[in-house]
Structure 1
Amino acid sequence: MSEDLIPVKPPENELLIVTGMSGAGRTTAAHALEDMGWYVVEGLPPELVTTMMDIIARHPGSVEKLAVVIDVRTRGLYSNMLEALGQIEASGITYRMLFLDASDDLLVRRFEQGRRPHPLQGDGRILDGITAERELLKDVKSQAHVVLDTTKLNVHGLGSAIRELFSDDGPVRLRLNVMSFGFKYGVPADANFIADVRFIPNPHWVPELRPLTGQDETVRTFVLGNQGAGEFVDRYVEALLPVLEGYRRENKHYATLAVGCTGGKHRSVAISEELARRLDQLPNVTVNTIHRDLGRE
C-alpha cells in the first residue's frame, strides 16, 4: 500500500464492529445505533472496512460514527475477519467490537418462531447450525471489546443496553415536536397528542390583536392571561411527565404534541410556545416548535 493510501483516522471518527451469533439481536442493535446517530453499514466484507474508513477520513464531517454489522451471510465471512482486523489496527484505525450472544435454547426458539433456517444448518437441525457458528466465532468472540448476552433482554431492553454502552450523551433523549395548528385546516395526522385550546377567547375578535400572531408579546399576554389558560398549561405539562418518561423507557424517540385553535394563528401558537418552553426544561427531552398554519389566511 502506498503512503498516500494509508487511512488517516481523525480522532472524532469512531468505528464500531457489530457481530455475533445469528438471532442474538444484531438488527435491533443496528437500529438502536442508527437512532443514536451512527452510520450503520450491513453486509460489508471485513477486508473493505479499511477502505471505507479511508474514504470517511478524506471527507471530514461526513460520518463521525461508523458501525459495520458483520454476520455469517457476509461475503468473506469470519475466515479472514481476524486478518482484516489486524490490517485495520496496522492502518492506525482504532475500533471497538461488540459481540452479541445468547443461549442455544433461546436462539433455537427465535429461529423456530421466525420459521426460518439457521444460515449454517444445511440439511441438519437449527441446533447444528448454531453449534457450527459458535465454533466459527470462538476466536472472534475472544477478541471482542464488549460481549453482550441478550438471552434475558427483549427488544426494548437490548436497545437500552446499546445506548448505555455506546452513547456519549447519557440516557436516551426524547425528541418532542410541539406543533400549533388550525382545526379548520385539518388535524395533523402524525400527532401523538392533540390539545384543543379553543376554550380561550379568540384574539381574532380583538381589532388591535387580529393582525398579530401568538408569537407577539401582546397576544401571548392576552392568551395566557385568560382564565384557565395558565392552569391548562400547568396541568398538561404535569400529565405529560409520566407519559414522556414511559416513552423513554420503551425507547420511543419521537413524539408530536399538536395544539389547535380555529385558525392556528393566535391561541395555539401562544400556548405551543409556552408548552415548549416548559417541556424543554425537562431532563432528556429535546423540544422543537412548529407552527404549521401560521401565515395562512
Structure 2
Amino acid sequence: MSEVRTTGPDQTFGEPAEADTSLVVVTGLSGGGRSTVARALENVGFYVVDNLPQALLLDMAELAVKAGGAARRTAMVLDVRSRAFSTDLVGAIEELRERGYAPRVVFVDADDEVLIRRFESVRRSHPLQGEGRLADGIAVERGLLEEARDQADVIIDTSHLNVNQLRRRVEELFGGEETRRLRVTVISFGFKYGVPPDADFVVDARFLPNPYWVPELREHTGREEAVSSYVLGQEGADAFVSAYANLVTATTPGFEREGKRYLTVAVGCTGGKHRSVAISEELAARLRRSGLTANPQHRDLGRE
C-alpha cells in the first residue's frame, strides 16, 4: 500500500529566519523514484539541484537566499552515489535548522521486491552492490538511510505508484492548483516560413478568404478590428474556431493527468499576418472564457 507521511498541510517553509525561502531535501532508495520527484518539483516551480553532496547543503541554502527570485524555492536531491555522501544526513539537516532554515525532507521508498524488478527491467546494477546481488546493495543502502527515513517529514512509498501517480502526489504536496494547470499558447504563423516545431496541434486557416486580396485590408493585421471582423465573419470561421476550442478543452484534463503543463496550438495561414492572427486571438479568448490559461503569440507578424 502506498504511504505518504507528512508533518501536516499547514507547515510553512523557511521559518523563522528565512521565512520567504522554501527548501526541500529529497533522498531515498535508488530506484525509488527520486528523479521523478525532482521533475515534479520543477513542474511546480522549484529550482532543483540533483546529486548534491550533502556537505554542500548549507552552501546551497545560502546561495538560494542570496539569489532570490525562483531560487527561493529550491529542492536538493541527494544520492548515495555522491562521493561526499556520508551517513550523517540527519546532522546536515539539523545544521540547516540551526542556521534558521526549515527544510522539508522527502524520503522516497519502495519494497525490496519492487526495487529489484525495477533494476532488472533496465538491466542496471545497484550502486552499492559491488560484487554481490541486487538485494545486497539495497540492504546496504537501507542501512545508510535508516535514520534519514525515520526523521523525514514526508515519506512516499512508490511500490504501487506509476510515474504519473507519483508526480501527481508530489504536486499535491508542494504545488498549488494553479501550478498544476495546463497553460495553452495559441501561436499564429505563416506556412511559407515553416510550421512551429513545438506545436502540439496544427490548425490550417487557409480555407478562409485571404484579406491580403482586399486592398483596404492588405496593410493591416489580424489584431485590428477590420481584419478580425472580416476573417471571423466568413462562412465556416465561427464553427472552425468553436471546434478547436472544444477539442482543446476536451483534451486538457487528460493532458493534465499525464503531467503536461504546456500546450501549443499553432494556427497557420500563408504569411502569418491576417487569418492566422485573427483566429489565434479569437481562439485564445474563447479558451480563457472556458476557464483555461491561454495566451496568443504571433511568430511571423511583421516579418513580411
TM-score strictly above 0.5: yes
SS of equivalent to 1:293? coil
Offset of residue 290 of structure 1: 1.6
Residue number among 88, 100, 103 corresponding to 1:95 in the alignment:
103
Offset of residue 234 of structure 1: 1.3
Residue number among 86, 107, 120 corresponding to 1:112 in the alignment:
120
Is 2:170 the counterpart of 1:139? no
Offset of residue 62 of structure 1: 5.5
SS of equivalent to 1:58? helix
Offset of residue 186 of structure 1: 2.1
**1:156-177, CA deviations, whole angstroms, 9 ceiling, x for partnerless residues?**
1111111111103456121222
Distance in 2 of aligned mates of 1:74 and 1:56 = 21
Asked if structure 2 preserves the Cα contact closer than 8 Å seen for 1:20 and 1:101, the reply is: yes
Q: Percent identity?
A: 50
Asked if structure 1 preserves the Cα contact closer than 8 Å seen for 2:46 and 2:70, the reply is: no
Distance in 2 of aligned mates of 1:282 and 1:153 = 32
Residue number among 268, 284, 301 corresponding to 1:294 in the alignment:
301
Offset of residue 148 of structure 1: 0.5
Asked if structure 2 preserves the Cα contact closer than 8 Å seen for 1:42 and 1:68, the reply is: yes
Change (3 A) 1:55 1:100: same
Distance in 1 of aligned mates of 2:168 and 2:41 = 11
Asked if structure 2 preserves the Cα contact closer than 8 Å seen for 1:43 and 1:69, the reply is: yes
SS of equivalent to 2:67? coil
Distance in 2 of aligned mates of 1:10 and 1:193 = 44
Q: Which residue of 2 aligns with 1:218?
A: 226
Q: Give ranges in structure 1 of 5+ residues lacking alignment.
A: 1-7
Is 2:91 the counterpart of 1:83? yes
Is 2:289 the counterpart of 1:275? no
Q: Which residue of 2 aligns with 1:61?
A: 69
**1:55-110, CA deviations, whole angstroms, 9 ceiling, x for partnerless residues?**
23233336121101012112332412111111111111011011101111110011
Q: Which residue of 2 aligns with 1:247?
A: 255
Q: Which residue of 1 aligns with 2:241?
A: 233
Q: Which residue of 2 aligns with 1:4?
A: none
Q: Which residue of 1 aligns with 2:175?
A: 167
TM-score computed with the length of structure 2 as normaliser: 0.90
Offset of residue 9 of structure 1: 4.8
Distance in 2 of aligned mates of 1:281 and 1:138 = 51
Change (3 A) 1:60 1:242: same
Asked if structure 2 preserves the Cα contact closer than 8 Å seen for 1:9 and 1:54, the reply is: no
Offset of residue 181 of structure 1: 1.1
**1:133-165, CA deviations, whole angstroms, 9 ceiling, x for partnerless residues?**
112211111111110011111111111111111
How is 1:18-29 mapped onto 2 (pairs within 5 angstroms)?
Answer: 18-29=26-37
Offset of residue 215 of structure 1: 0.3
Offset of residue 273 of structure 1: 0.3
Offset of residue 187 of structure 1: 2.1
TM-score computed with the length of structure 1 as normaliser: 0.92
**1:91-131, CA deviations, whole angstroms, 9 ceiling, x for partnerless residues?**
11011011101111110011111211111212211011111
Distance in 1 of aligned mates of 2:206 and 2:285 = 21
Asked if structure 1 preserves the Cα contact closer than 8 Å seen for 2:87 and 2:145, the reply is: no
SS of equivalent to 2:71? coil
Change (3 A) 1:269 1:147: same
Residue number among 82, 90, 96 corresponding to 1:74 in the alignment:
82
Change (3 A) 1:204 1:198: same
Q: Could you say what the CA RMSD is over the residues aligned between the two structures, in angstroms?
A: 1.8
Q: Give ranges in structure 2 of 5+ residues lacking alignment.
A: 1-15
Distance in 2 of aligned mates of 1:142 and 1:10 = 25
Asked if structure 2 preserves the Cα contact closer than 8 Å seen for 1:98 and 1:144, the reply is: yes
SS of equivalent to 1:83? helix
SS of equivalent to 2:180? coil
Aligned residues: 290
